[in-house]
Amino acid sequence: MFFAIHNLIAHYQKAEVLKGISLELVEGQVIAILGANGAGKTTTLKVISGLKRPTAGEVWFCGQRIEGKSPGGIVKLGISQVPEGRKIFPQMSVMENLLMGAYLRRGEEVNRDVEHIYEYFPILKQRQGQLGGSLSGGEQQMLAIGRALMSKPKLLLMDEPTLGLSPIIVQQIAQIIRDINQEGVSIILVEQNAHLALRLAHWGYVLELGSIVAQGSSQELGESEYVKRAYLGG
Ligand SMILES: Nc1ncnc2c1ncn2[C@@H]1O[C@H](COP(=O)(O)OP(=O)(O)OP(=O)(O)O)[C@@H](O)[C@H]1O
Ligand SMILES: [Mg+2]
């Protein structure tokens, strides 16, 4: 199995926010995690990327258990995260932000990788000397995605990549997510925009108050009365 979580439990102080969740990802695919505010989506991604220690449970990636490893160690194994709220470095230039994602690599190869990111996002090339904080919301999201790609992940974790963006930019980001997946990167996509998420994903999970309450192919979830009522606006 390329990636799997078994019975994952996580707490903040005494509050149990993940109550034993399990999920799987087939290599090359996109899975969506749907859920309302506070469901535990970001916490799930933080456990995977090593930013949050779970109380119990297992995270498997390419044949080894990774729960409890350091964030840097997990990046080196091939998992990188596009964080909620983008979290680019506002006082650094676009180019410097991208180099921060190269994770201790430097030199010619890294320069080639930056050029590859600029092929995905020509606007970032135009703005490469500008401070990250001066970019629009959509450009900052592109920069956050570009930075995560600089570590050459096999698995990309994306936390609400379209939140707060205009419809045109949302469609651009959606196309970028498709392109990244076409290049062979597997993706865990956390989205409150369930329509979009089910369009992009092969398989989806519905997380409510720390438990998985439904799962299925995107088509199955899209046709489920429950999912339609709760997440697709009727
Ligand atoms: N650092 C923290 N300390 C204490 N409680 C936290 C912390 N981060 C999150 N929580 C709580 O854990 C629960 C799950 O939060 P989480 O951020 O994982 O949800 P989410 O599904 O990503 O929500 P959203 O859609 O709002 O981003 C919530 O009840 C939240 O209040
Ligand atoms: Mg969140």
Interval 194-230: pLDDT, tens: 999 999 999 999 999 999 999 999 999 999 999 999 9
Report how far ligand 1's centroid is from the alpha carbon of 207 (Å): 12
Residue identifier of the C-alpha nearest atom 1 of ligand 1: 12
pLDDT score, position 103: 73
User: Ligand 1 center to residue 162 CA distance, Å?
Assistant: 18
pLDDT on residue 223? 94
- Residue 93: strand pairing partners: 131
What's residue 233's pLDDT? 82
At residue 107, the pLDDT reads: 77
Alpha helices (H) in the chain, listed in sequence order = 41-48, 71-77, 94-100, 108-120, 122-126, 137-149, 167-182, 194-200, 218-223, 225-231
Q: Which residue has the tokens 């969506």?
A: 32
Ligand 1 in reach of 43 Cβ (< 6 A): yes
Q: Evaluate if pTM is beyond 0.85.
A: yes
Does residue 132 have its Cβ closer than 6 Å to ligand 1? no
Question: What's the confidence (pLDDT) of residue 109?
Answer: 86
Question: Looking at the domain 3-231, which fold is it?
Answer: Rossmann fold (3.40.50)
**pLDDT score of 108:** 81
pLDDT of 43 reads 98
Nearest ligand, measured from the Cα of 192: 1
Ligand 1, atom 16, lies closest to the CA of 40
Nearest CA-CA partner of 194 in 168, 167, 172, 162: 162
Which mean pLDDT values do the consecutive 10-residue runs of the chain (234 residues) have?
Answer: 97 97 97 95 97 97 95 95 93 94 79 92 95 95 96 96 93 94 97 93 97 96 92 82
Asked whether 204 lines ligand 1 (CB < 6 A), one says no
Q: Where are the domains of the chain?
A: 3-231
Distance in Å, CA 181 to ligand 1 centroid: 27
Six-digit token pair at 44? 């799930």
**Mean pLDDT, the chain, as a whole number?**
94
- Pick from 161, 149, 84: nearest CA to 121: 149
